[in-house]
Amino acid sequence: MKSPARFEAVVQGQGNPPGDFAVFKAALLREWRLQVRRRGDLLNPLVFFALVVVLFPLGISPTQEILAPVAPGVLWVAALLATLMSLDALFRPDLLDGSLEQTLVSGYPVAPLALAKVGVHWLLSGLPLVFLSPFLGVMLYLPWQAQGVLMLSLLLGSLALSLIGSIGAALTAGVGKSGVLMTLLVLPLYIPILIFGTGAMQAAIVGNPPGAHLALLGALVLLALSLSPWAIAAGLKIAVSGE
């Protein structure tokens, strides 16, 4: 794979050692090009998200009286599972082709590289879930006053899910068939996000202000942004050393 060499060419555009922002920018451009080429990997979470929501009414009842009360939970659980599905192969291809090991021994800071990879992953897999969710919410008879809260809560929550889930993906990158292990690692950390996300939607449905739940989701995003890049970097080093 020639992407590490291309990454170094972008970063070494100046004579001085690159700073964290230069490394982050170069890694962001590299990851964007790589991920756009894997169109199948980008579509899988969206298809899974849509299928879960579409099949749910067929499994219980298509009536509004039954679907409307459970719509927030169905949408959020489907989004959570779709995010988990997309995270399984986040770092493993780079580990298998050797580019991850080259990146770790290159001397560049690993935390900005990890944050760029997670950021591109969220832009191409998490953000489309946000825009798809209102159409699926209509199928579940979600009230119109909750549609905006649904999108805002998923916007914050999907970013937190990607950041936290990437830690588990980094730790299990070197383990074969690591999907179950990664799920066991990150699911307990996903519970607060699920509670606050569905709580914001339930508050909007009954006419209460959802600001408190959304503020807690925002706090979780800030906490994940401040801690996860270094945790991901440590997990990648463990994965490479234990390979």
Closest among 146, 222, 159, 160 to 189, alpha carbons compared: 160
* CA 2 to each of CA 67, 121, 241: distance values in angstroms, whole numbers, following the listed order: 50, 20, 22
Which ranges of the chain would DSSP assign to H, the alpha helix?
A: 3-11, 20-37, 39-59, 64-87, 92-96, 99-105, 110-121, 127-139, 147-171, 179-206, 211-241
Separation CA 158–CA 140 (nearest Å): 20
- Are residues 217 and 197 in contact, defined by beta-carbon separation less than 8 angstroms? yes
Task: State the average pLDDT over residues 56-69.
Answer: 88
What's 144's DSSP letter?
A: G
* pLDDT value at residue 176: 64
* pLDDT value at residue 177: 63
**Residues written for the chain:** 243
* pLDDT tens digits for range 5-62: 444 444 444 444 456 677 777 778 878 887 777 766 778 889 999 999 999 888 888 8
* pLDDT tens digits for range 196-231: 999 999 999 998 999 999 999 999 999 999 999 899
Say how many CA atoms lie within 13 Å of 231 toward its Cβ: 16
Asked whether the predicted pLDDT for residue 239 surpasses 90, the reply is no
Separation CA 63–CA 32 (nearest Å): 42
- Are residues 140 and 74 in contact, defined by beta-carbon separation less than 8 angstroms? yes
Backbone angles phi, psi at 176, to 5 degrees: -70, 140
- Are residues 173 and 91 in contact, defined by beta-carbon separation less than 8 angstroms? yes
